[in-house]
A and B are shown apart, each in its own frame.
Chain A
């Protein structure tokens, strides 16, 4: 089985988010870049499936060369080969075109990604890639089993889950729940050594339109100071919730 992970590289979740150039650009000073947390679930599931069924795992990333250490990390975890499409992922549409063009030239049985990137939180790239390639797609995937050429896929729906069956190939956007937290893979020393010799191919980007432009960033408004209520005077709290916040 040939598996592909579409990888997004994002600032670590504890990062302080700041902007530069008059608040028009994300300030990457001091930022530690990591595998997008949602992608980690898909990467681990891909490794488990590869180990069970045999085959190869490839990784593709749209982004500049400074992201290569994070791509190497996926190779250290066990991916066999990586591709980097050498361009700045200007927006979701532009990024999706790059991935769709990549997929048109190759064949994979299973294509995985995360449900959204935690930086721009668009949540639309996997669906756009599916639409552009005509490959079947399931979003918000929390369970995946493969049997022959059939995939059993659980997706999150409002207030529950839906389990679907389909034939390969399919694009799946994974998230927490796809594998258990304690199963998440991290690189070991041997993996890191081996990753150095694994292929990382750099590809040129395709022509594609950019549909959206980020003009400016601001910080969310600061909350005013918390109103503390004494635990022996909870009537006051109820009064505040009722008369001030008007939520009960």
Chain B
């Protein structure tokens, strides 16, 4: 019996989510005595996972898997689970992970929960905490049966180094090639050179208080200095000031960076639902009564057009020293 993580990559390298899953798996391994393994689709640096307590990585390097197919990937992961005797599978919350995991859950007839924010409270029975009602509640959920899949919420567990000896094994799943032909990929559009919202440690987000798209220069400049991603409130995306891909909230993306900076955003309940798992929240708003201040750790009451340029200057000076 073993624990298996689906270790994803960004630009060919094991990403932060994978390291977080590995950290979680290592803890679970201590609690249950089962070894913690990983499966990767050709990451360049699978050994990175040993640092976080993984002792074996099955690396799938067939060229076929250079194209993503949810069904083919799920089949390959299920075979890796079979090979390693895995009873517990850990996955992240990327678009691909959310897409493919239900296929494994159905095949395994597994108990599968997403949005997990705690290590198991008990392992017999197996109970974890998960987010529910769009971050307005936390539920204690029991997973029944001998196969379990946990979707771990981003940034909820953190990275814990736990060096272990490990091996990388090349793995060749037997997947029916017609699974790759279900869909023909016509195009892939990706914003390049920008920090993506899901990877970002810091997010700078703008709302209707910024008056118009022409005023986003300072938001982008602030983001650049901080190495942050940019986001926006729903009306900003609806009015076409910014792309829909930047919309965060209950009906947009759910994010949980270390720092979320909200500028000219009122803090409506639907907006908060997508951002209140952030580790720290800084609110800049001209209205001292803005509801966002109640959900914030740090706040500045003031006109964004005055505060943000000043903050940029101060941060430039700070960055020059550090």
Q: A: which residues have CB within 8 A of B?
A: 11, 13-14, 17, 19, 26, 37-38, 92-93, 96, 118-124, 126-128, 130-132, 136-140, 142, 152-153, 155-166, 175-177, 181-182, 209-220, 223-224, 226-231, 234-235, 237-238, 240-242, 245, 247-248
A121-B134 contact, Cβ under 8 Å, with A136-B182, A241-B298: yes
CB-CB nearest 8 A-B residue pairs: A127-B102, A131-B106, A231-B302, A160-B190, A159-B196, A211-B111, A139-B99, A247-B259
Can you report 7 A-B residue pairs in the complex whose CB atoms are below 8 A from each other?
A93-B111, A131-B102, A158-B95, A159-B245, A228-B293, A245-B258, A245-B280
Q: Are B244 and A162 interface neighbours, CB within 8 A?
A: no
Contact of A130 among B101, B102, B133, B196 (CB under 8 A): B102
Q: Are B298 and A213 interface neighbours, CB within 8 A?
A: no
B143 within 8 A of A: yes
What residues on B are CB-neighbors of A119 within 8 Å?
132-134
What residues on B are CB-neighbors of A157 within 8 Å?
95-96, 188, 190
Contact of A13 among B95, B111, B269 (CB under 8 A): B269
Q: How many angstroms from the CA of A19 to the CA of B136 in the assembled complex?
A: 11
Q: How many angstroms from the CA of A201 to the CA of B180 in the assembled complex?
A: 38
Q: Are B186 and A164 interface neighbours, CB within 8 A?
A: yes
With CB as the reference atom, state the residue of chain B lying closest to A136: B182
Q: How many angstroms from the CA of A13 to the CA of B273 in the assembled complex?
A: 9
Q: Are A121 and B115 interface neighbours, CB within 8 A?
A: yes
Contact of B300 among A38, A138, A228 (CB under 8 A): A228
What residues on B are CB-neighbors of A37 within 8 Å?
250-251
Q: How many angstroms from the CA of A209 to the CA of B106 in the assembled complex?
A: 12
Q: Are B102 and A152 interface neighbours, CB within 8 A?
A: no
Q: Are A226 and B294 interface neighbours, CB within 8 A?
A: yes
B29 within 8 A of A: no
- Closest approach, in angstroms, between the C-beta of A234 and any C-beta of chain B? 5
Contact of A156 among B194, B245, B270 (CB under 8 A): B245
B208 within 8 A of A: no
B140 within 8 A of A: yes
Contact pattern, B 269-283, Cβ under 8 Å of A = 1, otherwise 0? 110010010011011
What residues on A are CB-neighbors of B300 within 8 Å?
228-231, 234, 237
Q: Are A121 and B186 interface neighbours, CB within 8 A?
A: no
Contact of A245 among B183, B190, B259 (CB under 8 A): B259
Contact of A237 among B244, B252, B298 (CB under 8 A): B298
Contact of B314 among A136, A235, A240 (CB under 8 A): A235
A220-B276 contact, Cβ under 8 Å, with A13-B269, A160-B188, A166-B184: yes
B123 within 8 A of A: no
Q: Are B137 and A17 interface neighbours, CB within 8 A?
A: yes
Contact pattern, B 87-103, Cβ under 8 Å of A = 1, otherwise 0? 00000001110111111
What residues on B are CB-neighbors of A247 within 8 Å?
201-202, 258-259, 279-280
Q: Are A212 and B280 interface neighbours, CB within 8 A?
A: no
Q: Are A229 and B299 interface neighbours, CB within 8 A?
A: yes
B24 within 8 A of A: no
- Closest approach, in angstroms, between the C-beta of B294 and any C-beta of chain A? 7
Q: How many angstroms from the CA of A238 to the CA of B188 in the assembled complex?
A: 39
What residues on B are CB-neighbors of A96 within 8 Å?
106
What residues on A are CB-neighbors of B176 within 8 Å?
none
B79 within 8 A of A: no
Q: How many angstroms from the CA of A164 to the CA of B187 in the assembled complex?
A: 7
With CB as the reference atom, state the residue of chain B lying closest to A159: B196
Contact of A152 among B103, B186, B294, B296 (CB under 8 A): B186
Q: How many angstroms from the CA of A122 to the CA of B102 in the assembled complex?
A: 10
Q: Are B137 and A219 interface neighbours, CB within 8 A?
A: yes
Q: Are A124 and B101 interface neighbours, CB within 8 A?
A: yes
Centre residue among B105, B134, B135, B197 by max chain A CB count within 10 A: B134
What residues on B are CB-neighbors of A235 within 8 Å?
314
What residues on B are CB-neighbors of A175 within 8 Å?
251
Contact pattern, B 139-151, Cβ under 8 Å of A = 1, otherwise 0? 1111111000000
A211-B110 contact, Cβ under 8 Å, with A131-B102, A164-B184, A247-B280: yes
What residues on A are CB-neighbors of B306 within 8 Å?
231
Q: Are A226 and B293 interface neighbours, CB within 8 A?
A: yes
Q: How many angstroms from the CA of A226 to the CA of B291 in the assembled complex?
A: 11
B112 within 8 A of A: yes
Contact of B105 among A128, A217, A231 (CB under 8 A): A128
Q: Are A218 and B137 interface neighbours, CB within 8 A?
A: yes
B218 within 8 A of A: no
